[in-house]
Amino acid sequence: MVYSQFVDGVLTTGSKRESWLNYNPANNNPLGEVFQANDQDIEAAVNSSEKAFHIWRTKTGAERGRVLLKAADILRSRLEKIASLETQDVGKPISESLAVDISSAADAMEYFGGMAAGIHGEFFDLKNAFGYTRPEPLGVCAGIGAWNYPIQIAAWKAAPALACGNSMIFKPSELTPATALELAKAFMEAGAPPGLFNVVQGDGRVGGMLVNHPRIAKISLTGSVSTGKKIFAGAAAHLKRVTLELGGKSPLIVFEDADIHNAVSATLLANFYSQGEVCSNGTRVFVHRQIFDSFLMKLKDRTEKIRVGDPADPDTQMGALISKAHMEKIIRFIESGKSSGATLVTGGFRPEKDFKGRDITSGNFLTPAIFTDCDDSMEICKEEIFGPVLSILCFDSEEEVIERANNTSFGLAAGVFTNDIKRGHRVIHQLQAGTCWINNYNITPIELPFGGNKQSGQGRENSLAAIQHYTQLKSVYVELGDVESPY
């Protein structure tokens, strides 16, 4: 396979570019060659996206919506093919790619496609005059993606951007180049003008070229806090708009009156879905002292039954980590937890065989890990690990747990389990996080805004809130009388 630039409706040849191989995380066999975009590629992408923008912005909302809805249908009709590409690139179980990744991308295109005709301004009745506002598109926007949900991230950015009349240049992570190209093809086949959604490949240097390009109006990043800070600083030099969807170290609080079975189910979802490589994961699990032992016993029992293995097998529940380097980083976190005095209750080792007895030593597999005897100051309880590692922390009172949960520079997500309706809301209202759940975790319907507070981000994706981030408001005053002038 060759992964190159998709510019102006055409997949370019990648020759004479810097290139590298990308690998299947399940066995570290090469999947293809990725060609890094160069200056000319970026210039061609910006020229083509500008051209497409001038065509697209004159379409009615209903016309734009139709293209998005058709592209969503195309994605859904190619579900199995795209899910299989995503599983090969990311290492996540095929059951997840089939159930979540592609349909979540299509959901965003249907939601914003349906909304495109309804994007409107306001009318103001004034004295002998009136005024109105127009939400206008920004121009060429750039999306920069992380590797954990490649097509979902691309669609969560492209759908609102395009619905609002913008064009987009998208750069997927250098580790997962495949499915953004499938999205680009779907837009073209759905009738989008060439250049409306261009894809450029490459690492942070290509991201930097997009951030610094004077004719790109906005940057939307999904990535780590450190990349977010660099992009924020780079965009500030041009006073560019940004949306930043960054990392987290989110708290999941289980009170003594919670339904323990549901709380354990949510803790598993909040930590081990997609090998734990999910930004909003609730990796600090605060459990009330009264139920601590029974909670831990049930959690350990169910964690040990998770079927780790070949991501392409439909029975697999946990696949392989994105790269060897990332796996080694997670192993270092696990060693840090042990040496700081936490107890590794289960997992955290590289399995030799998967749940069907197949040799998996060539892949980046780790068994799901639970730490207990943790202290808030330990590295494993403070840093984002981005892998299948959770820390259980014991608490006694509501006030105490709120203070400890908020004692972090991150603010992406939070969850509370309790059957006391008043306490559920009271606690959630005091948690410093942008995306919260009561009695569930990591559910992200397209209707609800998603994003972080504190160092976990700026702006919101999904929902009506995303429209504000892809439009600029123009106010128009219309005089109905004479001009009153003192001169």
Residues contributing to the site for ligand NAD (CB under 6 A): 144-148, 171, 173-174, 203-204, 207-208, 211, 221-224, 227, 230-231, 245-248, 279, 384, 386, 412, 452, 457
Strand 129-137 relative to strand 123-126, pairing: antiparallel
Strand 343-346 relative to strand 19-23, pairing: unpaired
Nearest to 232 by CA among 144, 312, 360: 144
Q: Is 157 a catalytic residue?
A: yes
Residue 411 beta carbon to ligand NAD: minimum distance, rounded to whole angstroms: 11
Contact present, 472 and 135 (Cβ < 8 Å): yes
Residue 323 beta carbon to ligand NAD: minimum distance, rounded to whole angstroms: 10
Query: What does the buried/exposed string (b/e) look like for 4-21 if buried means 16 or more CB atoms within 10 Å of the residue's CB?
Result: bbbbbbeebebeebebee
Q: Is 279 a catalytic residue?
A: yes
**Four-residue CA torsion sign, 52, 54, 55, 59:** positive
Query: What does the buried/exposed string (b/e) look like for 329-340 if buried means 16 or more CB atoms within 10 Å of the residue's CB?
Result: ebbebbeebeeb
Contact present, 173 and 203 (Cβ < 8 Å): no
Distance (Å) of CA 76 to CA 69, 237, 240, 390: 11, 40, 34, 34
Phi, psi dihedral angles at 69 (to 5 degrees)? -65, -40
Nearest to 37 by CA among 198, 152, 197: 198
Residue 223 beta carbon to ligand NAD: minimum distance, rounded to whole angstroms: 3
Give the count of beta carbons closer than 10 Å to the beta carbon of residue 230: 16
Residue 247 beta carbon to ligand NAD: minimum distance, rounded to whole angstroms: 3
Find the catalytic residue in 96, 174, 384, 461.
461
Residue 46 beta carbon to ligand NAD: minimum distance, rounded to whole angstroms: 16
Nearer to ligand NAD, 103 or 173 (CB): 173
Residue 203 beta carbon to ligand NAD: minimum distance, rounded to whole angstroms: 5
In terms of C-beta distances under 8 Å and separation of at least 24 residues, what long-range contacts does 226-230 make, across chains too? Answer: 228/455, 228/457, 228/458
Residue 136 beta carbon to ligand NAD: minimum distance, rounded to whole angstroms: 26
Residue 5 beta carbon to ligand NAD: minimum distance, rounded to whole angstroms: 15
Nearer to ligand NAD, 167 or 173 (CB): 173
β-strand partners of 228: none
Q: Is 381 a catalytic residue?
A: no
Q: Is 141 a catalytic residue?
A: no
Nearer to ligand NAD, 222 or 267 (CB): 222
Find the catalytic residue in 86, 92, 141, 157.
157
Residue 361 beta carbon to ligand NAD: minimum distance, rounded to whole angstroms: 25
Nearer to ligand NAD, 67 or 244 (CB): 244
Q: Which residue has the CB atom at the shortest distance from ligand NAD?
A: 207
Nearer to ligand NAD, 148 or 317 (CB): 148
In angstroms, rounded to a whole number, what is the distance separating the alpha carbons of residues 382 and 401? 15
Tokens of 217: 């109006």
Contact present, 232 and 209 (Cβ < 8 Å): no
In angstroms, rounded to a whole number, what is the distance separating the alpha carbons of residues 320 and 309? 7
Nearer to ligand NAD, 103 or 456 (CB): 456
Nearer to ligand NAD, 173 or 271 (CB): 173
Distance of CA 342 to the CA centre of its chain: 30
Using CA atoms in the order 348, 351, 354, 355, what is the torsion angle rounded to 10 degrees?
-50
Nearer to ligand NAD, 239 or 480 (CB): 239
What value does the CA radius of gyration of the chain take, rounded to a whole number of Å?
A: 24
Nearest to 319 by CA among 27, 150, 94, 93: 93
Find the catalytic residue in 96, 182, 245, 277.
245
- Amino acid type, 408: T
Three-state DSSP at 436 gives strand
Contact present, 461 and 451 (Cβ < 8 Å): yes
Find the catalytic residue in 141, 164, 279, 374.
279
Nearer to ligand NAD, 121 or 208 (CB): 208
Strand 10-11 relative to strand 457-458, pairing: unpaired
Catalytic residues: 157, 245, 279, 461
